[in-house]
Structure 1
Amino acid sequence: MDIETALKEAMAVDGAIGAALVDFDSGMSLGSMGGGHELDLDVAAAGNTEVVRAKVRTLEALSISDSIEDILITLDRQYHLLRILGHGHGRLFLYLALNRERANLALARHHLRRIEAELSI
C-alpha cells in the first residue's frame, strides 16, 4: 500500500478528522489528508514529533528496550493517535486525529495496525 492509499484508509476510520504520515527525525509530513479548519496537520505533525522524540528519549534514559506502539492524547472533543511504525519503515509515525464522539478507539488502533502492516514506502 502506498502513502496516499494508507492515508485514505486512515481517513475511512469512523470519526477521522485528519491523518498524516510523519518523519519524526525531521518533523516533516510525507503526506497528509483531511484537517482543514479544524486541524492544521502541518502544525500537528511538527508538534507531535516532539511528543514522540520526548518519549523515545525517556525510554532510552530509563534503559527500557521495548518499542513504542502507540501514543494516545485525549482531548475534550478529540483523540490524537500516534502509531509508531515498526522495523523497515524508518523513523515514521502515522498520526490520526479523531472526533471523540464518533470514534471507536479500539477499532481505530486496529485499523492503524493493519495499515502499518500493508504500508510500503
Structure 2
Amino acid sequence: MANIDSGLKEMMEIEGAIGAAVVDYSSGMALGTLSSTKSLDLNVAAAGNTEVVRAKIRTTEQLGLNESIEDILITLSAQYHIIRPLTSRKGQGLFLYLAMDRTRGNLALARHRLKSIEEELDV
C-alpha cells in the first residue's frame, strides 16, 4: 500500500506529468501536491477542480445514472488534466488530479497508471 506522498511521486513518474495532487472535494483542499513547474498553482487547481467534480456528481445523480465516475478529462491546447475520484471506502471524498504535457504524455497509459495508483493508495 502506498501513502499520499509515494502516490504523488508515482503520479509524477507518468510520462509528461507536470503536476499531481490528492484533493479532498468536500473542502477543496489539496492533501498533497507535487509539481515540476512554478506556472501551475496546484492549490488553485485543487479548488477549481473540486467544483468540476461536485458538478459532475450532482449531474449524474440528477440524471438518475447509477454509475460512478471513473475519470474526468479536460483537454487544453497544450495539456491534459485528468481528475480521478477515488472509489474505495477510505478514499471516499478524494480525487487524484494529474496535469500532463500533451506532447510528452500518453493519455491512455496515464489513465491506466492512475487507476493502478488509486488501487495501491492507502489514505
Instruction: Give 5+ residue unaligned stretches, structure 2.
Output: none
Letter in 1 for 2:84: R
Once the 2 structures are TM-superposed, how far is the Cα of residue 65 of structure 1 from its aligned partner?
1.1
Once the 2 structures are TM-superposed, how far is the Cα of residue 87 of structure 1 from its aligned partner?
2.5
- 1:97 and 1:55, CA in 2 relative to 1: closer, same or farther beyond 3 A? same
Distance 1:28 1:35 in 2: 20
TM-score by length of 2: 0.96
Instruction: Report the equivalent of 1:15.
Output: 16
Instruction: Report the equivalent of 1:100.
Output: 102
TM-score by length of 1: 0.97
Distance 2:39 2:97 in 1: 15
Once the 2 structures are TM-superposed, how far is the Cα of residue 90 of structure 1 from its aligned partner?
1.6
Q: Indicate the RMSD between aligned Cα atoms, in angstroms.
A: 0.8
The correspondence of residues 1-121 of structure 1 with structure 2, limited to 5 A, is: 1-34=2-35, 36-88=37-89, 89-121=91-123
1:19, 1:35 within 8 Å by CA — same for their partners in 2?
A: no
Once the 2 structures are TM-superposed, how far is the Cα of residue 35 of structure 1 from its aligned partner?
5.1
Distance 1:4 1:25 in 2: 20
1:35, 1:41 within 8 Å by CA — same for their partners in 2?
A: no
Instruction: Give 5+ residue unaligned stretches, structure 1.
Output: none
Q: Percent identity?
A: 60
Once the 2 structures are TM-superposed, how far is the Cα of residue 37 of structure 1 from its aligned partner?
2.2
CA deviation string 1:18-76 (max 9, x = no partner): 00000111100000000532200000000000000000000111111100000000000
